[in-house]
Structure 1
Amino acid sequence: MDLTVKCDAATRFALLGIDNRAGSSALNSMFGLGKINGTQNIGKYLLVMMSAVADGVSVLPIKSKDGETGWHGHLFWMPGDYASVAAPADASYPINVQDLTLELALNTSIERASLLDLTNEVKIDGSATLEMKYL
């Protein structure tokens, strides 16, 4: 799927990944897919940042744990990560962008059926918010 950000002018920003189903993944480093009966984790997923184009030019997806320091090129967007884009030659800090298109893929894993109560229909209920932060 494509994620598009359009600003009135070029600006530096990051998107904070928030897991709206926190606690429903066996790993804190992955987003949750919800729970069965409020107790059984259905599964987990990662957002994978693929190709990115900013203002018509290919750029590098980057992330940081605090949105201020430690920026580095990385494909996997985990809960609590700040994601942005950088010039391909320097992944150490986000660049100013007006129009961004970022291809996202989902890497999903469902728990083993033997660990889940499947006596009723189970709805996958993953949900994440990507909150814009101006830097």
Structure 2
Amino acid sequence: MVTTITEGVKVSVETIYQPEYSNPANDHFMFAYRINIENMGNYAVQLMSRHWYIFDSNGAKREVEGEGVVGVQPIIEPGNSHEYVSGCNLKTDMGSMKGEYQMLRLLDNSEFDVQIPEFYLIAPYRMN
């Protein structure tokens, strides 16, 4: 698990290779990732949007942007967290992701970016 803290918001990521949804013979590798976003600050925040950078080990790069996460724009009160699971397919059995969330501090409607730490997507058989 990798973790980073930006302006009092802690982001932790855990990855899971999904062999049942992968097809290595056709260069299709599916990964799930679980993200926990914890508000360690003193004010409520709302996750407005996300921006991902996705890298395959063959040098391919993709960017994905959109509102919220898995269809919601959660409000996270101080001391609380929001967790979700999503997925990513790669054309190689190794790659990485990183990005940022655009957050809104509800006290004064100020916007700020929260870093999503870089994490690696690696099929377990590559670890030998």
For Structure 1 versus Structure 2, the TM-score category normalised by the shorter chain is 0.3 to 0.5
- The structure whose residues are more often strand, as a share, is 2
- Bigger radius of gyration: 1
The structure where helix makes up a greater share of residues is: 2
Normalising by structure 2, what TM-score? 0.37
TM score, norm. by length of structure 1: 0.36
